[in-house]
Amino acid sequence: MLQIFILTGLLTVSALGSKLPSFCLPVCPPNEVYLKCGVCEGTCSDPDPINTYECRPAGCYCLNCQGYVRDANGICISKYECPICPATTEFPTESTLYPTESTMYPTESTEYPIEPIHYRVNDFIALIHEQFHELMNLLLSGSTP
């Protein structure tokens, strides 16, 4: 693996592991910076990791403070460019999103047919109305419930 170093305007290429003066810094890919004491990088799946203040090996790290995280391919991108859903997310099909006549209305084999909601609401209103009249009759007759 080769690393590229810039020394006072002169571009030099060095094999990894060879000694260079300490003032030579590697050129990092876009949105990355060279750090002698690395930090815990954010990723698309964990954009704000807990900082352990652990000094990681020297190298190129994403510009976390500017909102860059490492994507699944190892490239530093803006955390706003990360995919919202993981690649393995399964989305509903049209048949599950839009009910068909067979899923909306029960068949003869359905043991307990599903009643439309307005029937249940009407039954509830009728029950309240009935209980209200019973309570009013009790109050008017002078009895206590």
For the chain, 145 residues long, give each residue's pLDDT as a single digit of tens.
344 444 444 344 444 444 555 567 789 999 999 999 988 889 998 888 888 888 889 999 999 888 999 999 999 999 999 988 766 667 667 666 666 666 666 556 555 555 555 556 667 777 788 888 888 888 888 766 5
Distance CA 59, CA 37 (A): 8
The C-alpha angle 50, 56, 61, rounded to 5 degrees, equals 80
The C-alpha angle 56, 25, 78, rounded to 5 degrees, equals 65
Tell me what pLDDT residue 17 has.
47
Residues 6+ apart with CB under 8 A from 39: 51, 56, 61, 64
Distance CA 105, CA 91 (A): 25
CB 62 within 8 A of CB 41: yes
Tell me what pLDDT residue 8 has.
40
Distance CA 2, CA 64 (A): 25
Distance CA 103, CA 105 (A): 6
Tokens of 15: 């094999």
